[in-house]
């Protein structure tokens, strides 16, 4: 395990990933923090507040978005990226409404996950 990388997944959260993500997500070591953890820091809130079954919401919205983020991370592997991930992990804890993530990583995949009450609002 490393400091930065995709979070280790159990079958329940791994199975909904698209096949191209399943085949590639563990090309890097799992980590304590990663881009998916930063962007989806409110995942539990999203799941608890949506109007559909949690597993359906996770499979339809969260898993594909997280998968794209993890593939993005693999395409941008560098010491600088990892240092920024560590910094941003702490930053979003202190400043959860901050948009610094998108100022540092301008080419992140566009993520549109229904938010509060499952109304279509961008999460990031």
pLDDT per residue over 13-48, tens digit each?
Answer: 899 999 999 999 889 988 999 999 999 988 898 888
CA-based nearest residue to 88, from 74, 73, 75, 67: 73
114 CB neighbour count, 10 Å cutoff: 20
Residue 124: per-residue pLDDT: 42
Q: Do 44 and 72 meet the contact criterion of CB atoms below 8 Å apart? A: no
pLDDT per residue over 66-97, tens digit each?
Answer: 999 999 999 999 999 999 999 999 999 999 88
């Amino acid at each position: 395990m490393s400091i930065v990388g995709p979070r280790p997944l159990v079958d329940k959260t791994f199975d909904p990933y698209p096949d191209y993500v399943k085949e590639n997500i563990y090309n890097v070591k799992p980590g304590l923090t990663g881009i998916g953890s930063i962007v989806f820091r409110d995942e539990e809130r999203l799941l608890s507040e949506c109007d559909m079954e949690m597993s359906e919401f996770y499979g339809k919205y969260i898993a594909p978005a997280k998968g794209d983020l993890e593939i993005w991370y693999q395409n941008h592997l560098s010491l600088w990226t990892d240092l920024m991930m560590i910094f941003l992990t702490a930053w979003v804890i202190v400043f959860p409404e901050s948009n610094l993530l998108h100022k540092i990583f301008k080419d992140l995949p566009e993520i549109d996950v229904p938010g509060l009450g499952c109304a279509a609002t961008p999460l990031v």
